[in-house]
Chain A
């Protein structure tokens, strides 16, 4: 359902648009046969004069899980946070190029930030539940959208908690503080909370970096379950994790997109030396 007011970008097409500006060997496009939900076009992001993301062009396919890997400070988080404009919180920043979600440039002045962020949900590095009850945490988003009916809210809470596979764990503690949960539960609660706003895209910014291996495994299971329903972009510093959960992987280095390909191909047969060095652990 294309919104009426949406102004599609000229260059954003479905499928494999031709992008002559990008060098062919960057392998920035992955042929999957599915349309791109997020597409960056020579996108750059600057903190003041410092460049965070440099001239990145890539398409992210609908329904896929895309991992972004790279050494720390390579701009992978910056890129991710640009997609739902969370970088707005940082003063003194600017962008170049376009970054389109569903064909609309998110850095357009007329972007409806609220709708954008509701539909492009985000899960952060550290679990960040509000200091409220579990129930209140989840209904926060739906309430913002104007859902008032107690019954509908309860249904949503149950559905989201089931979708994030934690209903059985917390169904008796819905009205206890979310801060009493363990770290892994908190992170899954944050995912459930994000699901409650009915997003199309889930951005995950190193969601497991603060968790223990068991909690990590559960999050990864969850990602596998959510795959297909949501387009998931996950930033991770853990290459095994990227290999386990993602369909596609992008490798960022020093703000630039080095390589972007199917996960199995990128990890077994990288096209670039830099990628190979990174995944074999020779640097970073």
Chain B
């Protein structure tokens, strides 16, 4: 042992003698490092910017293909077109005197979206409360995959369910004249929007820290009171974002409404009668585009419907982004 340490001591004289590799860069190394570092970063940045390019391309092409619907004509004619699109509810592109009134489609989209939210928001909120505050850890570990699977089932499968299982049931048990109607589409859309609403609002509620809840409990509030009076008001912007994201999911959904809504292009009347068939923007695009010749008036009109949809969801997206940014700030501030 003594010998070994002597050896080490002997080695130390040599090893500690100096640094074998230069600590400073030579000018050429410096230049190379500078260039490769910056070029590499630039390359990575460009790859990352693909998403930006994609967004711009999407907007550009949807606008380009929808522009001739309005702007191929004189100014008053263009204005008349715009007016027709947003105020007329007659969508008869195949008629001898075609009409392109998008109102019924827009109303249809909003109609099923609101219908689904009326169902999904209360259910989603309660489920989020259950997951964030009531369920023990193990139960939560089981519930989460269930909700994930609910979110993962493809929309066409939900549409299939709506047409093949739910519609016949509705027709038989509730005596509707047709099973494919606004109620069917709303219920299925609600199922599809639920996972989004649950997970985002659960995150928002969890972001309200334990301290806030403890403060409320310490003042003698029950769990229900704590949730309703303290946590939900504090998490309101996150919950709102959840609702908006769920709304986006429902509004942008194509297959379910195409298969389950009945595709009748009219505004429901009376407005509360959910058993009527309706037609949404997404279903119109999906249903019509297949048999529309390129660069026809009808084709441009369908792209205009798509543009309307895109603008709707884009603005909703910005709102949700703003709200989620607020949630992030509070959760960071809370920690």
Contacts and interface: CB of A to CB of B under 8 A. Distances in A.
Q: Give yes or no for direct A-B contact (beta carbon below 8 Å).
A: yes
A102 B19 contact: yes
7 contacts: A3-B21, A3-B24, A4-B22, A111-B25, A115-B22, A198-B20, A231-B16
A158 B29 CA distance: 33
Q: How many interface residues does chain B have, given as a range?
A: 10 to 19
Interface string A102-137: 101010101110011011000000000000000000
B273 interface: no
B23 A6 contact: yes
A88 to B, nearest CB: 13
Nearest to A102: B19
Given A6-B24, A63-B12, A119 B19 contact: yes
Contact of A229 (B15, B18, B19): B15
A1 interface: yes
A102 B25 contact: no
Contacts of B26: 5
A7 interface: yes
A230 B16 contact: yes
B12 A3 contact: no
Contact of B30 (A3, A101, A110, A116): A110
B11 interface: yes
Nearest to A64: B16
A7 B16 contact: no
A155 B11 CA distance: 19
A226 B16 CA distance: 11
Q: How would you classify the secondary structure of chain A's contact residues: helix, strand, loop or mixed? A: loop
Given A225-B5, A229-B8, A112 B22 contact: yes
A230 B14 CA distance: 11
A229 B16 contact: yes
Interface of B: 5, 8-9, 11-12, 15-26, 29-30
B9 A228 contact: yes
Interface in A1-32: 1-7
Contacts of B29: 112
A63 B8 CA distance: 11
B11 to A, nearest CB: 6
Interface of A: 1-7, 37, 62-63, 101-102, 104, 106, 108, 110-112, 115-116, 118-119, 198, 200, 225-231
Contacts of A1: 17-20
Contacts of A115: 21-23
B154 to A, nearest CB: 35
Given A228-B11, A229-B8, A63 B25 contact: no
Nearest to A108: B24
Contact of A5 (B5, B8, B20, B25): B25
Contacts of A37: 16
A9 B30 CA distance: 20
Nearest to A1: B18
Contacts of B9: 228
Given A225-B8, A228-B8, A229-B8, A111 B23 contact: yes
Best-buried of B15, B19, B29 by chain A (most CB within 10 Å): B19
A25 B21 CA distance: 37
A3 B22 contact: yes
A200 B19 contact: yes
Contact of B16 (A3, A63, A101): A63
A133 to B, nearest CB: 27
Contacts of B16: 37, 62-63, 200, 228-231
B21 A119 contact: yes
A47 B16 CA distance: 33
Contacts of B15: 200, 229-230
B18 A110 contact: no
B25 A112 contact: yes
A228 B24 contact: no
A265 B5 CA distance: 25
Given A5-B24, A102-B18, A227-B12, 7 more contacts: A1-B17, A1-B19, A3-B22, A37-B16, A62-B16, A111-B23, A115-B23
A108 B25 CA distance: 10
A228 B12 contact: yes
A112 B19 CA distance: 13
A231 B16 CA distance: 7
A7 B18 contact: no
Contacts of B25: 5, 110-112
B23 A106 contact: yes
Given A112-B29, A229-B12, A3 B23 contact: yes
Nearest to A200: B19
B12 A118 contact: no
A241 B18 CA distance: 28
A230 B22 CA distance: 18
A229 B184 CA distance: 79
B314 to A, nearest CB: 32
Contacts of A106: 23
B24 A111 contact: yes
B20 to A, nearest CB: 6
Contacts of B5: 225
B24 to A, nearest CB: 5
B15 to A, nearest CB: 5
A3 B24 CA distance: 8
A101 B19 CA distance: 10
B11 A116 contact: no
Contacts of A225: 5, 8
